[in-house]
Structure 1
Amino acid sequence: MKEINFDCLILIFNIFKYDIKSLYSFFLVNKKWCNIVVPILWERYYPFKINEKLCNVILSFLPPSSKKLLSNNDIKLPSLTLSKFPLFNYISFCRYISSDNVDRIIDIVLKNLCNDHRRNLLEQEIYKLFISQCKNVKYLSWETRQPLTLFPGASILFSQLHKLSIDIDYVNSGALYELAQISKDLNTLSIKSCSRNIPELIYLIDAQRNLKKLILDIEVDEKTGKELSKTLERNGATINNLYLNSIDNIVLSSLTALVNLKKLTILHWKNYKEIQQYLAISEFPNLQQLILTNVHLPSFKEISLLIEKTIGNISSIHITATNKTAKEAGILIKAIAVNCPKISDLDTNIEPKDFIHVKTLLLNCRFLRKLRLKSLEFFINENDNNIGDELLDIFILFSPKSLDNISISGLWKYSIDTFNRFFESFRGHPLHYFGINDSYNNITVDHKIIVRKYIDGGVVKCSNWKFIQI
């Protein structure tokens, strides 16, 4: 039998990268297969399982000079640390360097002792090890005051990074400038905890040649906000995924320049008047995901206009207002029903008068899998007896077979008969999840008994009442 080509084996084994049992069986076939499988196993299971055994393996790669330096400063490495290098250079297989993992290694060695000098020294040598030995790192999480760009091998490591997450509070402006000089091919850049004007931050963003995803989880002054807005405009042709959290000072006019945006996330934004203004005039025809949560919105109308200007590729929408006075929730659901035939995940607000639009949504969006509807009402109208029945009847009559995850408001009342018919209608296509957040105690013991019955019968796999004692 002709031997399988080396490159073909790599492709085959990577298909099984999430099947650890198969990979272990391949590992034992022969030396050639072992040499291919070990890097795949290491990449798959590091960095998620930093324990004492893995820590000892990593520390075994420290050079003699580092071990001597640590010993001279009363830092005792674990006794199980290998005295000789292992058969494989496992460090070279790492694709991800995380500050959390480095901290975990330090805690294992120092037994959580808070000696700043020793922690800093051990941290320095661990980072030096990773930066000098990791030849194919694609993702770095930088939350350390160590001067990483000055360590041996930094120019190679940072030049090949695809993803960088950086906490500005730990990094000085000089390091940002060095980063901008050598790291120009980032696809994803995540920046957080910035509370001051740092021109080098803008320089780093502008240095990227093909930046696709930008995450800004920061607090900035007005001047920095305006500069960030300008750099968004300059990179508008490449950025297709924008995440903004708690940025009240950024000039939202930059949104109009992001013509190729596929995913937009805005969290905890208080300047809702600006959001309203710029969402109304923005156009993201290729938009696939829209997330606006914990945002104070006076109206859903502007978001509806934004959705109407897309070309029908939206698959996920999460829009929840912090205020109960938001208007036109029905217009938003109607816009989604008409313009988002591929949507599979929807989370938004609703009022009883808008239930009719849910019918259109279920009829038009036949790929819908998750639907979460949250009430905009402050209190229940006692005259609306069993108002929830209207919504449940719409689910009973019009739900697509794809819909298997439903969460609705517990503000409304539901009759026992309609509640039972609702679950019975899903007997042919079971629900993966069903939940009602019952803040007004409208869900009685009888309702919960019904849920338990259908969970036991396999019609509902999971519910937020599953473990409640009846």
Structure 2
Amino acid sequence: MKEINFDCIIHIINELRNDKKTLYSCLLVNKKWCNIVVPILWKYHPWNIYGSKRKLYNIILSFLPSTTKNILLNIEIKLPSTILTKPPLFNYLSYCEFPEPEDIDGIINMILGRFVNVEDDKYFLLEQEVYKLFVNNCKDFKNLTWKTCQPLTSFPGASTCFSQLHSLSIDPDYANSNSLYEMSKICKGLYILSIYNCSKDHQGLVSLIDAQKNLEKLNIYHNDINRRGNCQELSKALARKGDTIKELHLDLVNNIPSSFLISLKNLKRIEIYNHETFEETREEISELRQYLAISEFPNLEFFNAKGITCFEEFSLLIKKTRGDLLHFLIDIKTGELFIKNTGALIKEISIHCPNIKILYTFIESKDFIHVQSLLLNCSKLQELRFYSLNNSSNDDDDDDNVGDELLDILSSINLISLNNILLSEDWGYSIGALERFFESFREKNLLSFNILHHRNFYITDNHKEIIRKYVHEGVIRYSNFM
């Protein structure tokens, strides 16, 4: 029998990279197969190969050069006796991704103990040698989480180690400006940049951002709300990448001014999260609203807002899109006591978003009238969630069964694609309207029908019985009342 082409073997085994059990079997075929499989295992499954992280850490420490071992021994850092005394058969570290900070901590804690102080000199020196080990050996990896004060770019091998970075997560409180400036000379092909806890302008980070040629995805994560600052230069640097950035995750509590938003002309996806109360973030919300009102994202496809309900500004954004919006989501947390213009938002979506598939939004009962045009114009709508504002400005919602109007509108429009619906309990629904609604879906069926209920005031046992009846009859596949 002819021998299988070597390139074919490599391709086949690469296709099995997620099947660890089969890969382990391939290891035993012969030396050639072993040479193919080992790099794959260490690239995709390094932390699962040995069954325990302790065994893995011992293998990693076996690569420390003898000079380093002697240095550590001289400062009374004793390495485990279980590390290999002879060099391993493969340079495993050259195959694996750069470790997460938690794994570096795990290696240090295994040697110095779990409760060692991170400010201890021994901790710093051991951490330095472990990072040096990976920087000197890792090649062509794509992802790095930089959460250490160690000057990674000054270690031997840094230019090779970091040249192919695709994604960088960074906490500027750790990385010093000079190290980031050196990184800007090495790494110019970042696709994803994630920034955590940025409390002040950071010239090294500005240089790194400016060096990127095709930065497409930007994540700005939550800061401690008590650490207020102003990162004007960082905002300007991000604005200079407005032509390439296509995805944005923005936690509202951060110190980078929102002014860069107006430069993101090619944005396709935006997520804005507010994890704090409205009172705590009043200033940030005010600034955000100011820049959202004058921003234009014509290519927008995905919009998600959590804890922020700036309906007027959202409506303006929708009005300036080109019809590509597929997902529009506003989370159940209102973020503000009084909300207006829910109808205007639905009206703009019905006019400017013919391709929308998923819509989650708040609505006042007086704006139910706009739902009909939404269903008529958005023929690809698949999932719909309407939340009640449930505040004192909604006096009409206290009327019994005001939700019947909404059910009748949904029943009257035969939108074939719509098969997932969630409504608020707060409007109230009569048994008759509920039955008419389900009967209208008898021919096409619903994948899910849910009612968001907190008070169990309007939804009675009779309502639940009707819903269960239609689930048993196959009109609804799933409901939260089953």
Amino acid at match of 2:321: T
State the 1:317 CA deviation.
2.1
Q: Give the distance between the partners of 2:449 and 2:107, measured in 1 at CA.
A: 39
User: 3-state DSSP class of the match of 2:336?
Assistant: coil
Equivalence map 1:134-173=2 (5 Å): 134-173=138-177
Q: Give the distance between the partners of 2:430 and 2:63, measured in 1 at CA.
A: 67
C-alpha contact (below 8 Å) 2:44/2:96 kept by paired residues: no
Q: Which of these residues, 263, 266, 270, is aligned with residue 269 of structure 2?
A: 263
TM-aligned CA distance change 1:347 to 1:26, over 3 Å: farther
C-alpha contact (below 8 Å) 2:192/2:216 kept by paired residues: yes
1:411 is the counterpart of 2:426:
yes
Q: Give the distance between the partners of 1:109 and 1:430, measured in 2 at CA.
A: 57
Q: Which of these residues, 389, 402, 426, is aligned with residue 387 of structure 1?
A: 402
Q: Which of these residues, 202, 212, 233, is aligned with residue 239 of structure 2?
A: 233
C-alpha contact (below 8 Å) 1:47/1:101 kept by paired residues: no
Number of the residue aligned with 1:122: 126
Number of the residue aligned with 2:277: none
Give a deviation string over 1:10-57, Cα, whole Å, max 9, x none. 444444444445545555554434433443333333458973343333
C-alpha contact (below 8 Å) 1:409/1:438 kept by paired residues: no
User: 3-state DSSP class of the match of 2:220?
Assistant: strand
User: 3-state DSSP class of the match of 1:214?
Assistant: strand
- Superposed CA RMSD in Å reads 3.7
Give a deviation string over 1:226-267, Cα, whole Å, max 9, x none. x23322332222222233323576554433322212222333
Q: Give the distance between the partners of 2:31 and 2:171, measured in 1 at CA.
A: 42
Q: Give the distance between the partners of 1:160 and 1:244, measured in 2 at CA.
A: 26
TM-aligned CA distance change 1:160 to 1:218, over 3 Å: same
Q: Give the distance between the partners of 1:411 and 1:391, measured in 2 at CA.
A: 12
Q: Give the distance between the partners of 2:449 and 2:130, measured in 1 at CA.
A: 44
Q: Which of these residues, 88, 91, 95, is aligned with residue 89 of structure 1?
A: 91
State the 1:365 CA deviation.
4.0
State the 1:135 CA deviation.
0.7
TM-aligned CA distance change 1:306 to 1:51, over 3 Å: same
Q: Give the distance between the partners of 2:449 and 2:137, measured in 1 at CA.
A: 46
Amino acid at match of 1:98: E
State the 1:306 CA deviation.
1.8
Number of the residue aligned with 1:224: 231
Q: Give the distance between the partners of 2:25 and 2:446, measured in 1 at CA.
A: 36
Q: Give the distance between the partners of 1:456 and 1:96, measured in 2 at CA.
A: 52
Q: Which of these residues, 196, 203, 214, is aligned with residue 200 of structure 2?
A: 196
Q: Give the distance between the partners of 1:460 and 1:57, measured in 2 at CA.
A: 55
State the 1:182 CA deviation.
2.1
Q: Which of these residues, 458, 461, 472, is aligned with residue 442 of structure 1?
A: 458
TM-aligned CA distance change 1:84 to 1:209, over 3 Å: same
State the 1:75 CA deviation.
4.3
Deviates more, 1:24-33 or 1:118-127: 24-33
Gapped runs of 5+ residues in structure 1?
Answer: none
Number of the residue aligned with 2:278: none
Amino acid at match of 2:264: L
Deviates more, 1:120-129 or 1:130-139: 120-129
Gapped runs of 5+ residues in structure 2?
Answer: 275-280
Give a deviation string over 1:399-440, Cα, whole Å, max 9, x none. 756555544333232345655776784896563684624246
State the 1:163 CA deviation.
1.0
State the 1:139 CA deviation.
0.7
1:36 is the counterpart of 2:40:
no
Q: Which of these residues, 387, 390, 410, is aligned with residue 374 of structure 1?
A: 387
Deviates more, 1:268-277 or 1:237-246: 268-277
Number of the residue aligned with 1:45: 45
Q: Give the distance between the partners of 1:374 and 1:276, measured in 2 at CA.
A: 22
Number of the residue aligned with 2:321: 310
C-alpha contact (below 8 Å) 2:176/2:204 kept by paired residues: no
Q: Which of these residues, 260, 263, 279, is aligned with residue 292 of structure 2?
A: 279
Q: Give the distance between the partners of 1:202 and 1:406, measured in 2 at CA.
A: 45
Q: Give the distance between the partners of 2:415 and 2:59, measured in 1 at CA.
A: 52
Deviates more, 1:420-429 or 1:119-128: 420-429
C-alpha contact (below 8 Å) 2:159/2:186 kept by paired residues: yes
Number of the residue aligned with 1:132: 136
Q: Give the distance between the partners of 2:197 and 2:429, measured in 1 at CA.
A: 46
TM-aligned CA distance change 1:347 to 1:61, over 3 Å: farther
Q: Give the distance between the partners of 2:87 and 2:436, measured in 1 at CA.
A: 66
TM-aligned CA distance change 1:306 to 1:381, over 3 Å: closer
Give a deviation string over 1:292-340, Cα, whole Å, max 9, x none. 322252xx23322322322222222223541142221122223223333
State the 1:224 CA deviation.
2.6
Q: Give the distance between the partners of 1:256 and 1:59, measured in 2 at CA.
A: 49
Deviates more, 1:93-102 or 1:397-406: 397-406
Give a deviation string over 1:189-215, Cα, whole Å, max 9, x none. 111212223222222211222222222
Q: Give the distance between the partners of 1:19 and 1:456, measured in 2 at CA.
A: 39
TM-aligned CA distance change 1:356 to 1:12, over 3 Å: farther
Q: Which of these residues, 268, 272, 289, is aligned with residue 302 of structure 2?
A: 289
C-alpha contact (below 8 Å) 2:200/2:255 kept by paired residues: no
State the 1:154 CA deviation.
1.6
State the 1:386 CA deviation.
2.5
The TM-score, its normalising length taken from structure 2, stands at 0.81
Q: How many residues align?
A: 463
Q: Give the distance between the partners of 2:104 and 2:469, measured in 1 at CA.
A: 49
Give a deviation string over 1:356-379, Cα, whole Å, max 9, x none. 444444454454444333222315
Structure of larger gyration radius: 2
Amino acid at match of 1:91: L
User: 3-state DSSP class of the match of 1:135?
Assistant: coil
Deviates more, 1:431-440 or 1:175-184: 431-440
TM-aligned CA distance change 1:460 to 1:178, over 3 Å: farther
Number of the residue aligned with 1:100: 102
Give a deviation string over 1:128-155, Cα, whole Å, max 9, x none. 2221111122111011122212222122
Q: Give the distance between the partners of 2:329 and 2:426, measured in 1 at CA.
A: 20
User: 3-state DSSP class of the match of 2:99?
Assistant: strand
